Amino acid sequence: MPSKPLSGKRLVLLGAGVIAVLALGIFLAFAFIGRKQLVRASFLSEGRRRLGDFGEGLAHCAVTAGLPPSSPLVPAEFDQLKGPGYQSTPQDWAAEAFRCAHFAPTDATSHFQIGWKRHDAESGEVQAFGDVDQDGRVDTRMTAPVKCTFKEPSVIEKCGIGPVQEEAIGAVER
């Protein structure tokens, strides 16, 4: 039995159906990939913002009080960042570096460990370690230098924070 040729109306409906199925497939693929990329971008933005805020606070603090000693990382254990992130408490930010910088972000969960590493009287770096792909391992390291210049041997003239450097790697030494 010979097949009937498709009429114009049937051809349009068939074409519309094929296009709808393809569009739905593309939409679902982008929705899945896009969500992961959006979460990743959001976490990276959080790390940059917190690192910048902490570094600026340390630079301001250093002009009057000098660069503080190195701080511990907050949270103390990286695995505390799992799941929805870490909700810090005021006690987490008790180290001198955090107090001097007026840095105690207890208002939102964190997806990064944050800390300060002093190199000498003139310099150090703020550090952030994150898990932006949410697999439970450190995969991102961010640092920003804080440098001071002296006008006299014990009088700081100015301090500032340098650009944030990012390293996306499989395993980071802390």
Q: Do 81 and 113 touch, CB atoms closer than 8 A?
A: yes
Considering the domain boundaries, does residue 44 fall inside one?
A: yes
Considering the domain boundaries, does residue 102 fall inside one?
A: yes
Taken in order 12, 15, 19, 20, the sign of the CA dihedral is positive
- Calpha distance 84→9 (Å, rounded): 52
Those residues of the chain that have pLDDT short of 70 are 1-8, 11-12, 14, 25-26, 28-35, 170-174
Considering the domain boundaries, does residue 84 fall inside one?
A: yes
State pTM to two decimals.
0.77
- Give the pLDDT score at 172: 47
Considering the domain boundaries, does residue 94 fall inside one?
A: yes
Considering the domain boundaries, does residue 80 fall inside one?
A: yes
Considering the domain boundaries, does residue 77 fall inside one?
A: yes
Considering the domain boundaries, does residue 125 fall inside one?
A: yes
**Secondary structure percentages of the chain, helix, strand, coil, to 5:** 40, 25, 35
Task: State which residues form the domain around 87.
Answer: 9-168
How many domains is the chain built from? 1
Considering the domain boundaries, does residue 21 fall inside one?
A: yes
- Calpha distance 24→125 (Å, rounded): 48
* Residue 74 to residues 36, 99, 120, 133, Cα–Cα distance (Å): 25, 13, 22, 20
**130 CB neighbour count, 10 Å cutoff:** 27
- Give the pLDDT score at 19: 82
- Give the pLDDT score at 169: 74
